[in-house]
Amino acid sequence: MDQRPVLVLDFGAQYAQLIARRVREVGRFSEIVPGSASAGEISARNPAALVLSGGPASVYASDAPSLDPKIFELGVPVFGICYGFQAMAQALGGDVAQTGSREYGATGLEVAAIDSRLFAELPEEQQVWMSHGDAVERAPAGFRVIGRTPGAPVAAFEDVDRQLAGVQFHPEVVHTQHGQQILRTFLLDIAGLEPNWSTAGIIQTQIQGIARQVGEGQAICGLSGGVDSAVAAAMVQRAIGDRLTCVFVDHGLLRAGEREQVERDFVAATGVRLVTVDAADRFLSALSGVSDPEEKRKIIGREFIRVFEAAEADLIAESDERGDSIGFLVQGTLYPDVVESGGGSGTANIKSHHNVGGLPEDLEFALIEPLRTLFKDEVREVGEQLGLPGEMVWRHPFPGPGLAIRIVGAVDAERLEILRAADAIVREELTAAGLDRTIWQLPVVLLADVRSVGVQGDGRSYGHPIVLRPVTSEDAMTADWARLPNELLARVSSRITNEVPEINRVVLDITSKPPGTIEWE
């Protein structure tokens, strides 16, 4: 079976990861590499095809990302998108120029060759998503122009014999009507690839690889309760059984029922050995009187490291007594983490206040990162296939510092209970409405240092406002506020103000990202 990857050459595109995900949706494994990679470097990775991404630069700018023209001599199918389309045209002898007109957003595309392979069985007129100033004015020799728009005389071309094609628009975004079909046609028809990659295949491959890597050794995993660490731990447990120990630190900043979910449901689904450390009092003491969000984060990260180190030291001492010392650390690293860190190589460098929380420099482990080639949606698929509880697999992203950064103001036990009660109501109603999976996240924020006048019962109240922050997103880099049904919002507001006496006002945050962030602190 052909397991060669499709490489996405990244020229600074905001959508490079999305392109890679779309390629995987076609059924081919994809990886992102720098657009500056040489033909030799690309050849060494033995790709099945190349996709040249978009980017913000002009191909004529002195600092424009470079494209090695020798990649077209490798005999590998190539598909260019936006900037990648222009760089491809220029490298092969076509003309790219500033036409004086720009196209941004939804644009009408006219198919200029009804018998084209790339647009086979698609409408002759269709909506595409444009974002360009320069345009290809003349296609390279051997290419046929197959699409045009008002601002791009050459909006798409193909050379089927050489398995080369490109488009000025962005087929990877949902705003392009038939974008996924265009990518599929290039990869499966023009490039001649077979759709042979799936998350199901990844599971068995990873389990076998982990078993070989660990051998008869022992591993430890910092379990946060989130989907990434849960799926990573479940996969490793499948590979090495009770030689994996998970450490769950309850810092007292979790939402209602989350500790029970980990201790009961996760253990029941996986059979993993779990050690729970109850450190709520320690964290609350350290956070006492602290209102600054960055200071909260630093305190939580510091305390997390110390608590985990102590639990880790106990486990290492136990394993040393048995003569089977712990030599491996499981980490829920995802592919976006690898890409954004420039490759993800090196020693353990765990994010502050996330998963484990950090490790001392003199404590060496070999890393096990079974999810490092996967995107978040793929991790969820793997979690389902491993039999994890749906509530855990589809859990909305939750910040490492927990509810501490959803309280605007100082954190104490009373404020945490107020926020937990309101948050539980919101989650319960969202689930009842069947909308859990249609939004990315719904932070519930307590404005602890703000009071508003209200009327509750027969008297005047002076309570706190609660902010609802529902958002839709694909990767949390950008987000839009979710348009929840008015009936749902009304039920949530009524229940919170009736069931949580300290709250007398519920407000809705309708800010996109940018300019606002998803979390308030």
Q: Does the annotation count 82 as an active-site position?
A: yes
Q: Round to whole Å and give the CA distance between 394 and 438.
A: 11
Query: Within 10 A of 449 (CB to CB), how many other CB atoms are there?
Result: 11
Measured CA to CA, the distance from residue 173 to residue 170 in angstroms comes to: 6
The Cα–Cα gap between 66 and 518 comes to 35
User: What is the Cβ-side half-sphere exposure of residue 68, based on CA atoms within 13 angstroms?
Assistant: 17
Task: Name 339's Cβ contacts closer than 8 Å, sequence gap at least 6.
Answer: 16, 17, 32
Q: Which listed residue (103, 132, 158, 172) is catalytic?
A: 172
Establish whether 170 is a catalytic residue: yes
Task: Indicate the residue type of 489.
Answer: L
Find, among 130, 150, 154, the residue nearest to 140 by Cα: 154
Contact 431/472 with Cβ under 8 angstroms? no
Does the annotation count 246 as an active-site position? Answer: no
Q: Quick one: how far is CA 24 from the chain centroid?
A: 14
Contact, 57 vs 84, CB < 8 A?
no
Name the 3-class secondary structure at 461. strand
The token duo for 157 is: 């071309």
CB 291 within 8 A of CB 409: yes
- Counted residue by residue, the chain has a size of 521
| 312 backbone dihedrals φ, ψ, rounded to 5° | -65, -40
Dist. CA 164–CA 75, nearest whole Å: 10
Q: Which residue has the tokens 């910040």?
A: 399
Report whether 33 contacts 16 (CB < 8 A). Answer: no
Q: How far apart are CA 363 and CA 311, in angstroms?
A: 14
| Integer angstrom CA distances of residue 217 from 39, 129, 229, 328, 345 | 40, 52, 20, 8, 22
SS (H, E, C) 244-309: EEEEEEECCCCCCCHHHHHHHHHHHHHCCEEEEEECHHHHHHHHCCCCCHHHHHHHHHHHHHHHHH
The three-class DSSP label of residue 38 is coil
Q: Which amino acid is at 145?
A: V
Catalytic residue, chosen from 132, 170, 178, 354, is 170
Report residue 173 as tokens: 């975004």
Give dist(CA 483, CA 433) in Å, integer: 13
Which one is catalytic: 82, 158, 303, 369? 82
Q: What residues act catalytically?
A: 82, 170, 172
